[in-house]
Structure 1
Amino acid sequence: MGALALLLFGIIFLLILKGYPVAFTLAGVSTLFALILMVFVPDAIGMRDLSLLPNRFMGTIDNFMLMAVPLFIFMGIMLEKSGLAESLLETMANLLGRLKGGLAISVVLVGAMLAASTGIVGATVVTMGVISLPVMLKRGYRPELATGVICSSGTLGQIIPPSVVLILLAEQINASTQGAAQVDVGTMFRAAFVPGFLLVVAYIVYIAVISILRPHWAPSVSPEEIAAFRGPGFLGRVLKAFVLPMLLILAVLGSIFAGIASPTEAAAVGAIGATVLTLIEGRLTLDILRQVMQQTAKLTAMVFWILLGATTFTLVFRTLGGDEYLTELIQAADLSAMAFLAIVMIVIFICGFFIDFIEIIFIFVPVVTPIFDLYEVDMLWVGILMAINLQTSFLTPPFGFSLFYLKGVAPPGITTQHLYRGIVPFIIIQVLVIGLIVLFPEIIYLIK
């Protein structure tokens, strides 16, 4: 029966690689597989097992923690419409313009601030691509460096809280394990903060070093432009650009870290706060509100359909004893916990070349979590490692979504090869940060 469960896993994985819709592949193939087994192998699974699905579905939909997903999505899309990203980029670029690579460093810092405000990768990459890429190219930046900085900075929202990835990871870990291995979303947010900060620092260090070694790759902004920016009203523009986003970050993350609000409650505060900021900026109209709500509904529906499909797959997989069979295989191979972790991380990294992070979470986490639980590995630590690993899926060709987002808004002179070559150093940086957290797990507990 366990071998049949692994066969089910393999069939689903191959169909997803061929491009079939993830949600319906997970649910449809699992249900069809179970019905076929009822006919030919009646001892494997029965209608009584499948009758558990409605309760599982309702348990997923009623999950209070998952209510944060549409709220954070709403918050991110609304902030994109507010125009705060444009103000931040313009202000930061002029503040750091005299430095070699200052424009690229400003993109990283703004990407980090937007990540802590929104967590929506597509909106961040597109916004920074439209605003900063033409400016960087006009200033003489090497296309590979400019595109690499924008793509990698835009993905920081996957690890810097509030992050939808962290919420989904925590939910899947909790659904797949029991007792001490349960992971709270607020704890996951706190644990991810320092690794996210390390990535930002590592990006800035790389830009600074490359700007010194190859100054023609990242020239500074001309003194005339900086002087023009620092004219009348300079201080007011700087305060306005920074204060509003920082207030939102403090309201959302501050309330979570201080224990005042749960992540779901903080997400509601963030959604209201983003709407208020858009109103302050004079951009809140009925048309904007309709667009934000429509996009939120579409993204939320996509996430929950995949989640329900994953629930179906998990039920069939476990009923067939797939988790127990896989555990027996791992034990028979006599793998250590670190060896198993290495295999899982490599597989997730490779899968990131071909399939989306949501699909990876819903397919792999329910399968590997019980084995980590058996090894008594800290699931908070594993979750953060997975989150950073999943972040690379936005950058790795051929299907890195950040690459698609940026290519869609890039000037005609920017080729796919520019994008592919530009993200390589940043993927290496992410892998090095993963290695650092593997060697020093205490990093994730620096914020308690």
Structure 2
Amino acid sequence: MTDPQVAVFMLGLFIFLIMLGFPIAFTLMGMAVGFGYYAYFDGTRMWRAYDRAVEEGAGFFNQVDAYIGAFLNNRIFDLFVNQTYSVMANDVLTAVPLFLFMGYIVERANIVARLFSTLNIAARNLPGSMAVAALITCALFATATGIVGAVVTLMGLLAFPAMLKARYNTSFAAGVICAGGCLGILIPPSIMLIVYAATSGVSIVRLYAGALFPGFLLASLYVMYVLIRAWMQPQLAPKPSKEEVGEVSAGRLFVMLLTSFFPLAVLILAVLGAILFGLATPSEAAAIGALGGLVLAAAYGALTWDRLRESVYLTVKTSAMVCWLFVGSWTFASVFSYLGGEHVISDFVVGLQLSAITFLILAQIIIFLLGWPLEWSEIIIIFVPIFLPLLAHFEIDPLFFGILIALNLQTSFLTPPMAMAAYYLKGISPPHVQLVDIFKGIAPYLVMIVFSMFILYVFPQLAFWLPQQIYGR
């Protein structure tokens, strides 16, 4: 086999192994070291070391030791160590554990329960008021955490039972929770965009600026859908009676918003504004956010030692997963490229003579299908780098490509049969709620995601206008 054929075999074997359920990070690292040893193997060096030991009159065991030492002296081990150091010292990735900590501490501070209760009262005169409140709460909480499982689970415990008790249609309520919980993948300060920036080399501040309008567009489509559907079919989301909502004066409502909505909103806007306007680097802003999360938890009387310890533990656990995925992926990609695999894929795609839009559609379909068995982090770190070298050929801006992916990856949590958001919700739902009911509720949101991707392609200035206004071309 030629080296490029070995590279293609390496990629195919990796996909086969992860489909069997092997741990992805360790599979990447193991295959990178194994195939890397073959790629960087230098047999003559071993014999030279052995001959040198013989010429120096070394004993048999010393000769064997010299041979084994030369055998183990392979550049793949140096590459692996260097890639590990590069990941751990990456300034962009430093923001990941800090944003994660902010999200975990906010999740455990009982802020979300207050927020949902207040927004539910504030939206009481709208059709589907409880669903609208749940969507806004999901969007805000997902933006603060960026952790889909945490948002869907917590909102499934808070808002989903409340909607069912208010006689909401099961599928309608389930779709709101699942779709709203995924918005944090796109709306800044998104952890997914940080990981994409580290993978692609695109400026994270430009990515954040570019993702704002598409993120608000998608969230607005969700809210409009809920309002229109609840208005047209009021039996799906019955309007609450005055007894159920209770009488709340405007002054009392303002105080409730002041103590629930505004603190979290101000924290998010402060972090995002510091990044977008160059007042702080993403890592510095994330540190501010983490400190702000601690202050909020303390202000609400929810900062206990157990909650702090649990938040730190979950932060370390998730950060380690992301970092080791990067180490494995970058080492794997280096070996794959050294063997010529990157050129094989590039030459094959270029040889198809695709147009830019055809390439975009093909790439998004592949990413959509990868979303069934894989998490977004694995798709971004492992497979997106395969597409990145082709963007220049098709004259596609990596920033635009990244935002399209951020939109697309929400489907990875929402598309049956591996819709993880549905499984998160099912895990904490009452026994009578069936998976098929949740899938039915999710379907309209999948259509809206595809529609928003179409709008972004037709009007790319949705992604480019704000970065150009703030930072220039």
Determine if the TM-score, normalized by the shorter chain, exceeds 0.5: yes
Q: Which runs of 5+ in 1 are unaligned?
A: 175-182
Q: 2:305 & 2:382 partners in 1: Cα distance?
A: 39
Deviations along 1:57-113, whole A, 9 cap, x unmatched?
A: 211111011000000000000000111111110011111123221111111111121
Deviation (angstroms), 1:50: 5.2
| Residue equivalent to 1:18 | 20
1:247 aligns with 2:247: no
Higher relative contact order (CA 8 A, sep 6+): 1
Question: Within 5 Å, which residues of 2 pair with 1:264-279?
Answer: 264-279=283-298
Structure 1, 393-402 or 299-308: larger mean CA deviation: 393-402
- The answer for the alignment partner of 1:137 in structure 2 is 164
Aligned equivalent of 1:87: 114
Structure 1 residues 151 and 165: alpha-carbon distance in aligned structure 2, compared to 1, 3 A threshold? same
The alpha carbon displacement at 1:203 in A equals 0.4
Q: Output aligned runs, 1:400-419, within 5 Å.
A: 400-419=419-438
1:376-432 deviations in Å (ceiling 9; x for gaps): 320000010011111211111222221222112111111111111111111111111
* Structure index of larger Rg: 2
Report Cα offsets for 1:119-145 as digits up to 9, x if no partner. 222221111111111110111111111
Matches of 2:117 and 2:450 in 1, distance apart? 31
Residue of 69, 74, 91 corresponding to 1:47: 74
From 349, 374, 377, give the equivalent of 2:396.
377
Give the root-mean-square deviation of aligned CA atoms.
Answer: 1.9
CA distance in 2, matches of 1:366, 1:65: 17
Find the partner of 2:325 among 268, 281, 306.
306
Instruction: Name the counterpart of 1:74.
Output: 101
Q: Which stretch shows the higher mean deviation, 333-342 or 195-204?
A: 333-342
Counterpart Cα distance in 1 of 2:119 and 2:43:
64
User: Mapping of 1:362-441 within 5 angstroms?
Assistant: 362-441=381-460
Equivalences for 1:195-214 in 2 at 5 Å? 195-214=214-233
8 Å Cα contact 2:167/2:238 also seen in 1: yes
Give the paired residue count.
437
Of stretches 209-218 and 129-138 in structure 1, the one that deviates more from structure 2 is 209-218
1:169 maps onto 2:171 in alignment: no
Q: Normalising to structure 2: TM-score of the pair?
A: 0.89
Cα separation, 2, equivalents of 1:257 and 1:48: 41
1:188 aligned onto 2:215: no
- TM-score by structure 1 length? 0.93
- Percent of pairs identical after alignment? 38
Other structure's SS at 1:353 match: coil
Partner of 1:177: none
SS of the equivalent of 1:51 reads: helix
Q: Are the aligned partners of 2:37 and 2:76 in contact in 1 as well (CA < 8 Å)?
A: no
1:31 offset after TM fit, Å? 2.0
For residue 447 of structure 1, report the CA deviation from its aligned partner. Answer: 2.2
Partners of 2:204 and 2:142 lie apart in 1 by 17
Which stretches in structure 2 are left out of the alignment for 5+ residues?
45-72, 468-473
> In the alignment, what sits opposite 1:62?
89
The alpha-carbon deviation at position 310 of structure 1 amounts to 0.6
Rounded to whole Å, the distance in 2 between the matches of 1:264 and 1:414 is 41
Alignment pair present for 1:343 and 2:370:
no
Instruction: Give the AA of the match of 1:20.
Output: F
CA distance in structure 1 between the aligned counterparts of 2:41 and 2:83, rounded to whole angstroms: 24
Q: Give 1:47 deviation, angstroms.
A: 3.2
1:228 offset after TM fit, Å?
Answer: 4.1
Q: Measure, in 2, the Cα distance between the counterparts of 1:15 and 1:192.
A: 34
